Amino acid sequence: MSIYTNTPGAQSILPDEYGELVEKPVRELSLAMQIGTTVETGSTHYRVPLLTSDVTVGAVAEGAEITPSDVKFDEIIVTPAKFAGLTVISREMAEDSSPSAGDQIGRSIARQIANSVDKALLNVLAAPNPSGLASLAGISKVAAPVTYKDLDPLEEALSLSEAAGGNITAWVMDAATALEIAKLKDQANSNRGLLNSDMTAEGRRQILGRPVFVSPYSPADVVYGVSRSELLTIIRNGTKLDVDKSVYFTSDRVAVKGTMRIGFAFPIEAAHVRIQNAAN
């Protein structure tokens, strides 16, 4: 029999803020939460309205009739996928109700969930994973050289995003690509880097004024330019933390499972840009 948050006596296992022990760390750890616009919903499906045709507006003479016109809408329907993390702890830790023990348990599960969410955001994964940036048919594309010599591909990415009505607010890449770009110099025979660190943000690198996020789940030789307003990270209310003492009864351990439902929506796909190394 599982022990749930409303089971009498379960209060000695973990602190009262069960869902927060998972959800709060995921929000801190997940790239998808940092570079996107977070939306919360209590529904199974979340609908994003899309304006496909504006009202017709033009100059008219004084006293002339104004011709009415209709707006046209479409919608994106997102069903947040369930991400689950499982960790096993000693009974002694489970019965320690101090905040530090609870935080460690929640953070362990949250780390697993955050990693899975980011992997889905940056790669094409099989269902039931949600579709991420790598699945977008309408994403803008830029071809980069095998070896970066300047920032021209990223400048082109900014232009493409702006032309689509977006605004790149973050760059996402793997560590090797980030290092390659960071080693670019401002001119020949110079030791000055082409990029300037933002010293107000713990030295975080920036490219063309946009922060760089390095992720181990970003495909090699790919840079994503992400427009925050056009990436909705949808969280369904009801993050849970379940505790079970029976499954590891013989070893006197406790299973702690966290579940969280998350999905993505991209209202304007072309506002995001995929910069692909020419070698691939």
Q: What is the SS3 string spanning 31-83?
A: HHHHHCEEEEECCCCEEEEEEEECCCCCCCCCCCCCCCCCCEEEEEEECCEEE
pTM for the full predicted model? 0.80
Q: Where are the domains of the chain?
A: 10-51+71-277
Block means of pLDDT (10 residues each) for the chain, 280 residues, are: 45 50 85 94 85 72 80 80 87 69 76 94 95 96 91 96 96 94 75 58 77 94 96 90 82 86 95 85
pLDDT of residue 8: 47
DSSP string, 79-108: -PEEEEEEEEEEHHHHT--SHHHHHHHHHH
Structure tokens at 16: 């009262």
- At 250-278, the pLDDT tens digits run 888 888 888 999 999 999 999 999 999 86
- At 121-136, the pLDDT tens digits run 999 999 999 999 999 9
pLDDT of residue 100: 61
pLDDT of residue 105: 77
Q: Which CATH architecture has domain 10-51+71-277?
A: Alpha-Beta Complex (3.90)
Handedness of CA 70, 56, 168, 274 (dihedral sign): positive
pLDDT of residue 187: 64
Residue 258 near residue 113 (C-beta atoms within 8 A): yes
pLDDT of residue 246: 85
pLDDT of residue 99: 59
